[in-house]
Amino acid sequence: MINRVNIQKFSLPEAVANSNGKTSGSATCGMFMIFVGTICFFVGTFKSDPNTLIQSLALVSLGTSLVAINKLNPTKDTTNTPDKDEKDC
């Protein structure tokens, strides 16, 4: 079985970028929410507080959905190129 995941090629700027290469605000917020939710999960684990665990899992889920929506949503091409059907006169 071929291992398709190469940790040496991971890049955080590529993880928060759109398909056109620009940095996405929703993906950046999603990564931050995942980071904060993970820290809160570990704090809730040590405190044995079920409310903190549930809320941190909700925060991680929301952050994951923001990153997933960013990666699955196609971006519009905003370049000013003439259509193929138009002919120069």
53 within domain boundaries? yes
Is residue 60 one of the residues assigned to a domain?
A: yes
- Residue 12: inside a domain: no
Q: How many domains does the chain have?
A: 1
- pLDDT for position 80: 62
Comparing 1 with 14, which gets the higher pLDDT? Answer: 14
Alpha-carbon span 23 to 65, nearest angstrom = 17
pLDDT, residue 15, reads 73
pLDDT at 34 over 80: yes
40-64: pLDDT as tens digits = 999 888 988 888 889 999 999 999 8
In a domain, 9, yes or no: no
Q: Cα separation of 67 and 89, whole Å?
A: 46
66 is in which domain, residue-wise?
Answer: 21-71
Asked if residues 57 and 38 have their Cβ atoms less than 8 Å apart, the reply is no
Domain-embedded: residue 36: yes
| Structural domain contains residue 63 | yes
- pLDDT(86) > 60: no
Residue 52 belongs to some domain of the structure: yes
**What pLDDT is attached to residue 61?**
93
For residue 13, is it within any domain? no
